[in-house]
Amino acid sequence: MTNTADRATAAAASGPPLVKISRSTAEICALYPVSPEANAALEPDISPAAFIDRLCGAELYVDAVRFLAHALPPREAVWWACLAARGALEPAPDQQAAVEAAEAWVYHPDEEHRRVAATAAAGLANDIPARWAATAAAWSGGSLAPPEAPVVPPGPTLTAQAAGGAVLLAAVKTEPERAAERHRIAIVQALDIARGGTGRGTSLAG
């Protein structure tokens, strides 16, 4: 599995186009604090795929995860978070319910499913990837306030932040020494999603 992930994360630019990523690298990097190491890999007009290749080549996997979380559209980012959270699920009904709520929003991204995801997320601890998968869906739009309160719209990057958090937490939830391997697998998932796939061919479990 690791060799497959190594090959895939080294071939973002040479593989099929990342059709789900519509913004330029500069536009994406303007959405979040880019680390000094990742910033050193930037150059004018570098494509998102080439930038991902460069980050992975330098083993800046956390930076690649953050970049992809902000590059993917909200539904795709939430789906990626769901894959990661499923790979780190504990045998707990509330975690299962949170992931299922986030997945339901992906299938039907309406206000009702968004609210259900918000409720499911609220009961989980901050170190649970499923919480952040559901939170990513909850922060996708609508209002952060209760239905009867004045509207408090979420910030435009909150879904990306929560989705990236779910992926990064899932990589270290158990056996943190395997984090780099799991980061690479997660990047493979995101690249497949960015190409229009489901990301299901590679798992974070195990």
Q: What is the pLDDT of residues 145-164, one digit of tens each?
A: 888 888 999 999 999 999 99
Query: Measured between alpha carbons, how far is 36 from 205 in angstroms, rounded to an integer?
Result: 31
Q: How far apart are the first and last CA of the chain?
A: 11
On the question of pLDDT at 205 being above 50, the answer is no
Both tokens assigned to 173: 């939830």
At 8, the pLDDT band (50, 70, 90 cuts) reads low
Half-sphere exposure of 187 (CA within 13 A, CB side): 32
Q: How high is the pLDDT of residue 6?
A: 55
Query: Measured between alpha carbons, how far is 117 from 26 in angstroms, rounded to an integer?
Result: 31
On the question of pLDDT at 10 being above 70, the answer is no
Q: What is the chain's mean pLDDT, rounded?
A: 92
Query: Measured between alpha carbons, how far is 29 from 9 in angstroms, rounded to an integer?
Result: 19
On the question of pLDDT at 188 being above 80, the answer is yes
**Cβ atoms of residues 58 and 41 within 8 Å:** yes
Give 159-162 contacts, CB < 8 A, sequence gap 24+. 159/74, 159/77, 159/78, 160/31, 160/32, 160/69, 160/70, 160/72, 160/74, 160/77, 160/136, 161/32, 161/69, 162/81, 162/132, 162/133, 162/135, 162/136
Query: Measured between alpha carbons, how far is 166 from 198 in angstroms, rounded to an integer?
Result: 17
Q: How high is the pLDDT of residue 203?
A: 52
Q: Which pTM value belongs to this model?
A: 0.92
On the question of pLDDT at 24 being above 70, the answer is yes
On the question of pLDDT at 4 being above 60, the answer is no
